[in-house]
Chain A
Amino acid sequence: MIQLDHVTYTYPQAKHPALSDISLEITESSLVAIVGPSGAGKSSLCALLAGFIPHHFHGILQGRALVHGQDIANTPLAELVTHVGYVFQNPFTQLSGAKLTTREEIAFGLENLGVPRLEMAERVDRVIELFSLRDIANRSPYEISGGEMQRVALASIFVMKPRVLVLDEPTAQLDPLGARQVFEAIRTLTNTQSVTVIIVEDKTEWIATFADRVITLHEGRVVLDGSPDAVLTSPLLAEIGIRVSHYTQAARAASRHRLWPSELALPTTLDKAIDGFKRARKKYENLG
């Protein structure tokens, strides 16, 4: 479990806090999506959960943040990284710079832990398969495409099997199928391995399909927290500048012309959009 209790954090020399009075609890095995406009504090929240705040970024941290009962501020980063996996927003910064092939890059963390060679090879093979990296396994991690590098960054964390995964926009450069595969993979981990996942993401279709809960940040504060359907269809999203899916946009516009059933919530996925627009049509035909 993750627990934040009135957490406020200000970067060194910053005028305003990046995180303001955040209190929340995240239960084990849940998949929580974080959304918010640029600068809302999403990456800062990730950095805190992974212990980079306050161990790497100093500044002023107030309140209490616990991961599995351990106070993040009092637990050394070296210990935190063994159970919290953190995928940075920029995959380039994730590369160790010490390895000649993507396979070695992915194995780097396990190697440091002294995991036996055979087990290491098996685990590395599994994530190479999971993220479709077979063709580039023997290439330099610097001579690959942007999306491939993002897959390598994900694989190098997944292979560590952390109990908590903190993913900062991990699908930004992935193709549509790759993005779906990441969501399927993390859903499997939460369901079968009791892993807890916190993911910053703007692809609402996948959030709606896979997440248990969505937290919206704005100017360092939690402004919405609830089920994907409730949060992702809130009119507040567009107001504060968050991406809104075309399904939701279409239904919202349609509802103004009574082309969407008034009793139905706005849709976030294809299935819900089909259902609503079909119902609206039937209703109309019955009237006619």
Chain B
Amino acid sequence: MKISVNDLHFAYPNGVEVLRELSFEISSGERVAIIGQNGAGKSTLVKHFNGLLKPSRGFVTIGDWDTQSHTVAQMAQRVGFLFQNPDEQIFKRRVFDEVAFGPSNLGLSPEEIERHVSAALSRVGLSDMREMHPYDLLPARRKLVALASVLAMETPILVLDEPTIGQDGRGLARLGALIDDLTQQGKTIITISHDMDFCAEHFERIMVMKQGRMLIDGATHDVFARFELLAEAFLEPPQMTRLGRALGLPETVTTVNEFLGAYAKTREPRH
């Protein structure tokens, strides 16, 4: 299901224009990371994908639906949305009820709901926590509860606003594997993150926002190779990209494995 953004402009009620002249498409099955400074407009942009915010000018379509003429409840059938702050999202007293809320609104049978919820909780590693009160969980776990409620909707598109916040090494690895797995299933994943190393490992396309505009939009390697332009957005390339460049590797590397491969090659005997 394609996302199309056409000459999108947006201003909050206080009048500040936050998004300007955005036009792009995201095809079905793409893995896109959105990066940029605090206040660049990343969260504001993605809230247009599920109709939480409506354009001041221009339009956003999800498949054949214009977000302007569909409710947030309708959009939720196509776009799953993880909030930057999970506490904005969680309002039930039991983990199970929280995760079951979306599927029950879709009118699924109790058996189907049970199946969706169990699958979602097991994917985020919280199967043991279904009877707990979400507020008795650590913040990193609460984020995973919110993520499970997104997964339980089984939407073709998932938007994750800073899912890596507060996750430890294990949580990060689990999240990465989950994203890879969802891609295998043909889902479209759009993630916001300040963790460039994580973006490099799991995303094929990077969008760089600066002050409400799109500064760069391209393949991960091409975007992270542009040191000067990234610096303009006050960003730095991933650790491996910086290391590879400093060592004079012939190609741009972004992940640990790419770095090791390229580095080993420079040491092969020359004939």
- Which one of A139, A202, A249 lies within 8 Å of B14 (CB-CB)? A139
Q: Is the CB of A270 within 8 A of B246?
A: yes
**A61 CB within 8 Å of chain B:** no
Q: Is the CB of A175 within 8 A of B36?
A: yes
**A162 CB within 8 Å of chain B:** no
Known: A90-B139, A144-B39, A274-B243. A173 touches B165 (CB 8 A): yes
**B119 CB within 8 Å of chain A:** no
Size class of B's contact patch? 35 or more
Q: Is the CB of A178 within 8 A of B238?
A: no
Q: Is the CB of B256 within 8 A of A246?
A: yes
B38 cross-chain contacts in A, Cβ below 8 A? 145-148, 150-151, 173-175, 178
- Measured in the bound complex, the distance between the Cα atoms of B266 and A140 in whole Å is 54
A59 cross-chain contacts in B, Cβ below 8 A? none
Q: Is the CB of B140 within 8 A of A38?
A: yes
Q: Is the CB of B169 within 8 A of A237?
A: yes
A117 cross-chain contacts in B, Cβ below 8 A? none
Q: Is the CB of B267 within 8 A of A281?
A: yes
Among A45-53, A68-76, A104-112, A251-259, the one that faces the other chain is: A251-259
Residue of B nearest to A269 (CB): B239
For A, the interface residue count at a CB cutoff of 8 angstroms equals 53
Q: Is the CB of B194 within 8 A of A270?
A: no
B167 cross-chain contacts in A, Cβ below 8 A? 38
- Which one of A38, A135, A284 lies within 8 Å of B267 (CB-CB)? A284
- Measured in the bound complex, the distance between the Cα atoms of B271 and A288 in whole Å is 12
Q: How distant is A117 from chain B, measured CB to nearest CB, in Å?
A: 27
Q: Is the CB of B14 within 8 A of A143?
A: yes
- Measured in the bound complex, the distance between the Cα atoms of B234 and A37 in whole Å is 29
**A92 CB within 8 Å of chain B:** yes
- Fill in one digit per residue for B12-24: 1 if any A CB lies within 8 Å of its CB, else 0: 1010100000000
B14 cross-chain contacts in A, Cβ below 8 A? 139-140, 143
- Measured in the bound complex, the distance between the Cα atoms of B255 and A174 in whole Å is 22
- Which one of B236, B239, B256, B269 lies within 8 Å of A253 (CB-CB)? B256
- Which one of A37, A277, A281, A284 lies within 8 Å of B170 (CB-CB)? A37
Q: Is the CB of A173 within 8 A of B194?
A: yes
Q: Is the CB of B235 within 8 A of A176?
A: yes
**B31 CB within 8 Å of chain A:** no
A175 cross-chain contacts in B, Cβ below 8 A? 36-38, 194, 234-235
- Which residues of A are in contact with B by a Cβ distance under 8 Å? 36-39, 89-90, 92, 135-136, 139-140, 143-148, 150-151, 169, 172-179, 202, 205, 237-238, 241-247, 249-250, 253-254, 257, 259, 270, 273-274, 277-278, 281, 284, 288
**Shortest 7 CB-CB contacts between residues of A and residues of B:** A147-B38, A241-B170, A246-B239, A243-B169, A37-B168, A177-B234, A38-B140
- Which residues of B are in contact with A by a Cβ distance under 8 Å? 12, 14, 16, 36-39, 43, 84-85, 87, 138-141, 162, 165-172, 194, 196-197, 234-236, 238-240, 242-243, 246-247, 255-256, 259-260, 263-264, 266-267, 269
What would be 28 A-B contacts, judged by CB atoms less than 8 Å apart? A37-B169, A38-B167, A38-B168, A89-B166, A146-B38, A146-B84, A151-B38, A172-B165, A173-B38, A173-B84, A175-B235, A176-B194, A177-B37, A177-B234, A179-B194, A238-B169, A241-B168, A241-B170, A243-B168, A246-B197, A253-B256, A259-B260, A270-B239, A273-B243, A277-B243, A281-B247, A281-B267, A284-B267
